[in-house]
Structure 1
Amino acid sequence: MANTYSQIDLQFVFSPKFRASLITEEWEIELYKYISGITARNKHKMLAINGMPDHMHFLVGFGTHQSVADFMQDVKADSSQWINNNKF
């Protein structure tokens, strides 16, 4: 069918290993911006993002061109590398 558009809104929740309270106020906003950038790079739309020191939630307008598992692998790997590179 021509001009068909599909989007699914998905909420993701993830946490540091052992749900440790590692996300501090000093850099959490930068982390949210970084994850929003990863989302945009994967051609999805960040609708909302927030969290606590031991976990984070984000709501994504998810396109149908990528699997959920591949997207989460990108987000978790890239954000973890960013955190380690910045020595947070």
Structure 2
Amino acid sequence: MAGTFSQIYIQLVFAVQGRNSLIQKSWEDELYKYITGIIQNKDQKLLAINGMPDHIHILIGLKTSFCLSDLVMEVKKASNKFVNEKKFCPYQFKWQDGYGAFSYSHSALDRVIAYINNQKEHHKKKTFKQEYKEFLKKFQIEHKDEYLFNWIEDN
């Protein structure tokens, strides 16, 4: 019987609400494992996950049978609840609305995985705002700055 065969590689990027630096080193691995479980339980392939105290990068192999926005919504909703129930954070934890989704070819995967795994070193030289705007420019995504994340310096 004929079937549909595809593999779409997407890097997701989203930030903590208010771009606050709430994700602490002491519990970030637990958060990443929890998010990994959500993605795998939705029968999607997680290739890399890492981030900074104020944002996260996730590289997935997305099957065409699943809606990306539904997956992101589930990851954000469930991980918000997880962090708050575990009381990892002294403040109410929540992801900001919106996210970036950037597609890659199979040949770029090693480079993207290395980039995600190297977030801590990478952000010694570049802010999240600089990084995110570079993604938008590189992928030729038209946008208005007022609809981007709420940046810390804007608060």
Q: Same fold (TM over 0.5)?
A: yes
Larger Rg belongs to: 2
Residue of structure 2 equivalent to 1:27 = 27
Q: Offset of 1:2 from its aligned partner?
A: 1.2
Return the alpha-carbon distance in structure 2 between the equivalents of residues 85 and 47 of structure 1.
27
- In proportion to residue count, which structure has more helix? 2
Deviation readout 1:30-70 (Å, 9 max, x if unpaired) = 10000000000111000001101110101000111111111
Residue of structure 2 equivalent to 1:61 = 61
Runs of 4+ more than 4 Å apart: none
Return the alpha-carbon distance in structure 2 between the equivalents of residues 64 and 33 of structure 1.
24
- In proportion to residue count, which structure has more strand? 1
Q: Offset of 1:4 from its aligned partner?
A: 3.2
> What residue ranges of structure 2 are gaps of 5+ in the alignment?
89-155
Aligned length: 88
Return the alpha-carbon distance in structure 1 between the equivalents of residues 21 and 4 of structure 2.
43
Q: Cα RMSD over matched residues?
A: 1.1
> What residue ranges of structure 1 are gaps of 5+ in the alignment?
none
TM-score (norm 1): 0.95
TM-score (norm 2): 0.55
